[in-house]
């Protein structure tokens, strides 16, 4: 793994993402942009249509899909458990501990992960990454919300919230259409394709806008633990689990890379909503994102071989 190979990999795969996200960051710093409204556009329109398009065109078998869902769930569960154990070891206060668990368990598999997988490994790996993203979204909006809101809500309320996720309807509809062998009319197919093609640029701009919310945290132990666990330990665990689940080729590339992404931007929204150390959570997201090329670049080179 030469320095030239690393630099080429970074320039071809990560640099475009950071340039577009950087434009969004500068936009948020110098102009008044309502990132929440843009986020809703991505959440309710673009993201569901992207996943719908990918699921419709995907050549994944039912067995491959189930294995991907199981792999994703296992990665999130193990990372959450690891964060709990390390947090106890470092004697973090309850609120800091919950914040670290939330950020370590759930990675940025959408805004950052999907475009990176597409650039690095192509559409076959992107189909797997999309299923990883959907599974993460479901678990984040149930288990993740419960973790963030302990004492404020329950699992039943979080489960009912699933019916508000448009991405769930996108996946379900795509699976039904595939099972029935229905061919979409060309005007509708092209409409969906246009929206799907615009999703990734929108996601990257939104990522940059969200990173302008950085706050400083004085809990250096929790900050360091959250960033290092996600960037250093997650890739190792995901590689081990990929072997155990028998993932190979595009499935292994898409799954492992998604599992190795830094903390999800969405965790900052939930942390703010439930007053779960938002300054710590935003700091973990920011520093994890900025430092992620140091771990993701060699990982991409490794997975390519």
C-beta of residue 43 within 8 angstroms of C-beta of residue 168 = no
3-304 CATH, one of 2.60.120.590, 3.40.190.10, 2.60.40.10, 1.20.1530.20 = 1.20.1530.20
Tens digits of residue pLDDT in 130-154 = 889 989 988 887 788 777 776 555 5
Question: What is the structure's pLDDT at 160?
Answer: 67
Q: Which of 6-15, 69-78, 203-212, 252-261 shows the lowest per-residue confidence on average (mean pLDDT)?
A: 203-212
3-state class (DSSP) for residue 55: helix
pLDDT at residue 227 greater than cutoff 60:
yes
pLDDT at residue 252 greater than cutoff 60:
yes
3-state class (DSSP) for residue 265: coil
- Please name every residue paired with 153 in a beta bridge, in sequence order, or none if there are none: 150
Mean pLDDT score, 30-35: 80
Question: What is the structure's pLDDT at 139?
Answer: 87
Report residue 275's pLDDT band, with 50, 70 and 90 as the boundaries. Answer: confident
| Average pLDDT over the chain, rounded to an integer | 86
Q: How is residue 101 written in tokens?
A: 């668990």
Neighbours of 191 (CB within 10 A): 13
Mean pLDDT score, 249-270: 90
Mean pLDDT score, 40-50: 83
Question: What is the structure's pLDDT at 153?
Answer: 58
Tens digits of residue pLDDT in 182-203 = 888 889 888 888 888 888 888 8
């Amino acid at each position: 793994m030469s320095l030239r190979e690393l630099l080429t990999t970074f320039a071809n795969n990560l640099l475009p993402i950071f340039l577009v996200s950087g434009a969004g960051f500068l936009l948020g710093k110098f102009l008044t942009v309502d990132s929440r409204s843009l986020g809703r556009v991505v959440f309710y329109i673009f993201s569901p249509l992207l996943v719908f398009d990918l699921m419709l065109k995907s050549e994944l078998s039912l067995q491959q899909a189930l294995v991907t869902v199981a792999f994703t769930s296992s990665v999130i569960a193990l990372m959450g458990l690891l964060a709990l154990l390390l947090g106890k070891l470092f004697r973090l206060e309850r609120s800091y501990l919950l914040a670290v668990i939330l950020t370590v368990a759930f990675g940025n598999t959408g805004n950052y992960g999907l475009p990176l997988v597409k650039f690095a490994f192509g559409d076959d790996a992107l189909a797997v990454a999309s299923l990883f993203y959907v599974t993460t979204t479901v678990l984040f909006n149930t288990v993740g919300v419960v973790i963030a809101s302990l004492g404020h809500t329950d699992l039943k309320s979080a489960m009912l919230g699933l019916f508000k996720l448009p991405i769930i309807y996108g996946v379900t509809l795509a699976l039904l259409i595939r099972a029935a062998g229905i061919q979409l009319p060309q005007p509708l197919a092209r409409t969906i394709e246009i929206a799907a093609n615009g999703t990734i640029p929108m996601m990257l701009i939104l990522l940059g806008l969200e990173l302008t919310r950085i706050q400083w945290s004085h809990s250096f132990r929790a900050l360091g633990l959250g960033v290092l666990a996600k960037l250093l330990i997650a890739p190792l665990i995901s590689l081990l689990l990929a072997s155990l689940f028998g993932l190979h080729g595009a499935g292994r590339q898409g799954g492992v890379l998604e599992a190795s992404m830094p903390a999800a931007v969405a965790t900052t929204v939930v942390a703010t909503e439930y007053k779960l150390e938002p300054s710590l959570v935003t700091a973990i997201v920011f520093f994890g994102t900025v430092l992620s090329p140091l771990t993701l670049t060699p990982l991409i080179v490794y997975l390519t071989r």
